[in-house]
Amino acid sequence: ELRELGGVSDKTRAKLAQEVFVIMADYNAAIASYLQNYHDPEVKLGNKLIKIYEKVQDCRYGENWDQKAAYYRDAASMYGLHNLRKLSGKEISFNNYLDIDSCM
């Protein structure tokens, strides 16, 4: 785009800014979690819990058919529904994930 148009469109700038801030938020969360207990080893748990989630997939629909939904996993965990494999059928909906989670 830069070579073809001689510049970067507003849409591309917004997308790149979003990507940068997501990376920075992840980095800052890791630093904040580390520093909460760094100054005082007697403190066992910090005042804030910062979690980062990664999108696994878009759902067919949300809780209602007209809603959008996606499934996210805890980025720090290797366990969860994202390890399951769908063998056949339609894409999974938000309600399907709730049903699967309640069975496990």
**Would the pTM of this model clear 0.85, i.e. be above it?**
no
- Could you tell me which residues are beta bridge partners of residue 57? 71
Q: Per-residue pLDDT tens for 21-35?
A: 999 998 998 888 788
H/E/C letters for each residue in the chain? CHHHHCCCCHHHHHHHHHHHHHHHHHHHHHHHHHHHHHCCCCCCCCCCCCCCEEEEEECCCCCCCCCCCEEEEECCCCCCHHHCCCCCCCCCCHHHHHHHHHHC
State residue 49's pLDDT score. Answer: 78
Which tokens is 5 given?
Answer: 């148009």
Indicate the pLDDT class of residue 51, thresholds 50, 70 and 90: confident
> What mean pLDDT comes out for the span 50-70?
91
* Top-confidence range, 26-35, 57-66, 73-82: 57-66
State residue 75's pLDDT score. Answer: 83
Indicate the pLDDT class of residue 47, thresholds 50, 70 and 90: confident
Which tokens is 96 given?
Answer: 């399907």
CA angle 12, 55, 61 (to 5 degrees): 100
State residue 16's pLDDT score. Answer: 96
Judge whether residue 84 has pLDDT over 90: no
